[in-house]
Amino acid sequence: MTCPPWPKGKKLVHLDLKGAPPRVEYLHKLIELFSQLGVDGLLVEYEDMFPYEGELKLLQATAQPAYSREELLSMQEFAKSKGMEVIPLVQTFGHMEFVLKHRPMWSLREVPYCVGTLNPHREEGVRLVMEMLRQVVKLHPGLNTLHIGADEVYILGEGEESKQWLGLPGRTVEQLFLSHVTKVAKAIKATWPHMTIIMWDDMMRSMSQDTLKDSGLVGLVQPMLWDYTPNLDVDKTVSLLEKYCSAGMSDLWAASSFKGSTNVYTCVPSTQRHVDNHLQWLKVAASLSAGINLQGIALTGWQRYDHLSVLCELMSVALPSLAACLQTLVHGELSAEAQSKVTETLGISSVEVEAMARTSADESLFPGRRLAELTVELNSLLNSEDIRMFENDMFVRGWFSPYHRKRKMVTPLITMQIHSQASAYLTTLQEKVEAVRKEMVRLYPNSTAQEWIEEHVSPVMAPLQKITEDIRACVKEMVP
């Protein structure tokens, strides 16, 4: 089914910098590509890559240096020169792991065991959030729009102070959430009256219109409704947006996904899965009443599910997906015309990164293509049954079982063949890994390459290495 193209508003690409932050030169190349793909703005989630100062300096990353002030200003200048707005996303309630993990901030958690949720009762919590925002706004000259996060505020209401607050008649967790967000939004408006404030919508989904109307939040924020699934429920999503509109929040945003939402540890994205998500969003946009003022859509590209989880797909391997999703929005479907626009722009033969053979030697239109190709090759090798299931091989199970290893009683001829096969796999993997590492450190910090390899490669290589070591030890006992 073909839908009308995305109706109006901005198309933002989300840059999640809490993992695999691109080197500045690579960031500029990505922005150049985004502009060619028709992107209107960047939704930038800095987390610990922002150069916080003073008391907040402890929030800066230690695995690699945070971006410098000069680098951030040059990134913004470059984006503006391409006609793109830069909107910072700063978490102010939930997903504050990068702040609350630090020992001096522990007392500001809602409960000790939840690293992400801020205690909404402490004035120093609001002061902390406002100081973070002040530093971010200051380093974004001419800023007009801020995203204050506020999604997935886990365990809210479980802290001792919250329990006391909720003990009074008529008080609910919904009101507790709304009171904190309203306090933050009012403080922002008092400091920067011109500022447009966006927030994630998920904590408000189950709230009634009356609850929202009575919160004091109407007129202060623009909810951004996110759903990243390929089978997004169109009717349910439309009715949610209509509810927000009826409550007085008629300026609304959508958020889709082009990477980082399939699985917490996905390494290579499926373009079709993300295109399907955008097709559902097109159906939503086509079904909305005239009263809803759709401000735009943010195509999210999560790099981690949260600050303390593993890396999702890197940006380089997700560019075909991003380009295909953008073209789907422009054409109302991923038509032949839309697909050829993607393949011509990126110089590839397919919108699926796993099938994207080169159509040109030039990499200029696909920054990071070599890394994407190597990642796909290595991922295929890592997931091959021969390597994954090596310990279940007939010869390993039959002639080199844990029983044999423990007693060091083996058939040398067969175990040496097993050793030879395991060593060959290890050599092939090591060659591919070195090629990936070399390419990755050109585009990302060394810490990203180290983390990616430890996450995806080490668990697969470790059993093979163990087998080769054990065989050497056993053969020594059996062969003169």
pLDDT digit string (tens) for 170-229? Answer: 999 999 999 999 999 999 999 999 999 999 999 999 999 999 999 999 999 999 999 999
Which pair of tokens denotes residue 371? Answer: 């890394």
Beta bridge mates, 255: 226, 298
The residue assigned the tokens 């005239």 is 290
Residue 393 has pLDDT above 90, yes or no: no
| Torsion over CA: 39, 43, 46, 50 (sign) | positive
Q: Give me the pLDDT at residue 424, please.
A: 95
136 shares its domain with 222: yes
Phi then psi dihedrals of residue 196, to 5 deg: -85, 135
| In contact, 434 and 374? CB cutoff 8 Å | no
pLDDT digit string (tens) for 205-217? Answer: 999 999 999 999 9
> Is there a domain that residue 88 lies in?
yes
Q: Give me the pLDDT at residue 390, please.
A: 84
Which CATH number does the domain housing residue 49 bear? 3.20.20.80
> Is there a domain that residue 365 lies in?
no
> Is there a domain that residue 52 lies in?
yes
118 shares its domain with 216: yes
Phi then psi dihedrals of residue 163, to 5 deg: -65, -40
302 shares its domain with 156: yes
pLDDT digit string (tens) for 414-423? Answer: 888 989 999 9
Helices in 353-457 by DSSP H: which ranges?
Answer: 369-382, 385-388, 394-399, 402-407, 412-443, 446-456
pLDDT digit string (tens) for 233-280? Answer: 999 999 999 999 999 999 999 999 999 999 999 999 999 999 999 999
> Is there a domain that residue 3 lies in?
no
pLDDT digit string (tens) for 449-459? Answer: 999 999 999 99
Confidence of residue 129 (pLDDT cuts 50, 70, 90): very high
Cβ atoms < 10 Å from Cβ of 340: 12
pLDDT digit string (tens) for 32-52? Answer: 999 999 999 999 999 999 999
404 shares its domain with 322: no
277 shares its domain with 412: no
Q: Please choose, from the candidates 427, 393, 419, the residue with its C-alpha nearest in 3D space to the C-alpha of residue 478.
A: 419
| In contact, 133 and 188? CB cutoff 8 Å | yes
**Which class for 144: exposed (0-12), middle (13-18), buried (19 or more C-beta within 10 A)?**
exposed
Nearest-5° angle of CA 465, CA 443, CA 372? 65
Antiparallel, parallel or unpaired: β 10-16 and 293-301: parallel
Q: Give me the pLDDT at residue 363, please.
A: 62
- Using CA atoms, how far apart are residues 360 and 140, in angstroms rounded to an integer? 38
pLDDT cut 70: percent of the chain above it:
98
280 shares its domain with 235: yes
Contact residues for 401 (Cβ-Cβ < 8 A; gap 6+): none
Q: Give me the pLDDT at residue 400, please.
A: 87
- Using CA atoms, how far apart are residues 345 and 420, in angstroms rounded to an integer? 45
- Using CA atoms, how far apart are residues 140 and 192, in angstroms rounded to an integer? 13
Q: Give me the pLDDT at residue 364, please.
A: 61
351 shares its domain with 398: no
Active-site hit among 152, 242, 363, 377: 152
Q: Give me the pLDDT at residue 361, please.
A: 66
Sheet holding 10-16, edge to edge: 85-88, 41-45, 10-16, 293-301, 251-259, 222-226, 196-200, 145-147
- Using CA atoms, how far apart are residues 299 and 296, in angstroms rounded to an integer? 10
pTM of the model: 0.95
pLDDT digit string (tens) for 2-33? Answer: 789 998 899 999 999 999 999 999 999 999 99
Give the chain's domain count: 2
Q: Give me the pLDDT at residue 480, please.
A: 82
Which pair of tokens denotes residue 279? Answer: 């097709």
Antiparallel, parallel or unpaired: β 10-16 and 85-88: unpaired
Q: Give me the pLDDT at residue 391, please.
A: 84
119 shares its domain with 21: yes
Residue 478 has pLDDT above 90, yes or no: no
- Using CA atoms, how far apart are residues 209 and 116, in angstroms rounded to an integer? 28
**Which among 359, 392, 414 is the end of a domain?**
359
pLDDT digit string (tens) for 336-382? Answer: 999 999 999 999 999 999 998 776 666 667 999 999 999 999 999 99
> Is there a domain that residue 223 lies in?
yes
248 shares its domain with 298: yes
245 shares its domain with 192: yes
C-alpha distances (whole Å) from 74 to each of 64, 274, 392 are: 19, 31, 54
> Is there a domain that residue 369 lies in?
no
Task: Please give the residue range of the domain that contains residue 169.
Answer: 10-359
The rounded mean pLDDT for the chain is: 95
C-alpha distances (whole Å) from 410 to each of 40, 391, 398, 401 are: 65, 16, 10, 9
215 shares its domain with 300: yes
> Is there a domain that residue 191 lies in?
yes
| In contact, 349 and 359? CB cutoff 8 Å | yes
Confidence of residue 74 (pLDDT cuts 50, 70, 90): very high
First-last CA distance in the chain: 72
pLDDT greater at residue 410 or residue 468: 468
Catalytic site includes residue 25: no
Which pair of tokens denotes residue 90? Answer: 């700063």
**Looking at residue 21, what DSSP letter applies?**
P
Q: Give me the pLDDT at residue 343, please.
A: 92
CA atoms within 13 A on the CB side of 92: 32
Which pair of tokens denotes residue 437? Answer: 């590492």
- Using CA atoms, how far apart are residues 267 and 451, in angstroms rounded to an integer? 13
SS3 258: strand
270 shares its domain with 128: yes
> Is there a domain that residue 229 lies in?
yes
